[in-house]
Amino acid sequence: MHGTEAPSLWVQRWSHLAKPQSQVLDLACGAGRHMKYFQSLGHLCTGIDRSAEALAEASSYGKVIEADIEGGPWPLSGQTFDVVVVTHYLWRPLMPRILECLAPEGLFIYETFALGHEKFGKPSRPDFLLKPGELLQTCAHLHVIAYEDGYWDQPAKCIQRIVAAQKVNDLPHPFWLSSR
């Protein structure tokens, strides 16, 4: 079942930037691997997925919402989160809605497959693979903290990853001044 594997190393690497007791949204959470991880760090988690079976597992780590976010109404209108995590999921029409979920000073951690990955397995359709630089363009209005785009081995994959934050008074967020 999706979401039972270990948390993404990218998510783990940047999770220290979350403010204490953050409200965390895990979009397309599956069984809640990132919810479990963030809960273990003292954060409050909400997960969204369309699989009731997966959400039964994820519900151990926080609030869950069963929703078809691609075909149904957006279930989070007006809600914001301190951290929004998305891994191995891409539905371009939702990107503006996803980014609207970021609270002021909110942190966005995103990782998914990129063009070139079709050589190694699924997903292989271009609709589900990021184009070169696409995440940078999508997050242009945010303060980009870290970005990677390329090939990784073990297992072989092509991915893009970004960590970005809402700007504070049009200035980059001073995460490096944090006591964390």
* Ranges of each domain in the chain: 9-177
- Confidence bin at 43 (pLDDT 50/70/90): very high
Examine the pLDDT at 57 and tell me if it is beyond 90.
yes
Q: b/e string for 166-179 if b means 16 or more Cβ within 10 A?
A: beeeeeebebeeee
Task: Residue 115: name the closest of 123, 104, 105 by CA.
Answer: 123
Cα–Cα distance measured from residue 35 to residue 45, given in angstroms and rounded to the nearest whole number = 6
Percent of the chain residues past pLDDT 90, beyond the cut: 66
pLDDT for 84-107, tens place per residue? Answer: 999 999 898 999 999 999 999 899
CATH architecture observed for domain 9-177: 3-Layer(aba) Sandwich (3.40)
pLDDT at 82 over 90: yes
pLDDT exceeds 50 at position 137: yes
pLDDT at residue 138 in the model: 93
3-state secondary structure of 139: coil
Maximum distance among all Cα pairs of the chain, rounded to whole angstroms: 43
Instruction: Please classify residue 2 by burial: count the beta carbons closer than 10 Å to its beta carbon, then call 0-12 exposed, 13-18 middle and 19+ buried.
Output: middle
Higher pLDDT, 126 or 10: 10
Q: Distance between the two ends of the chain, CA-based, in angstroms?
A: 34
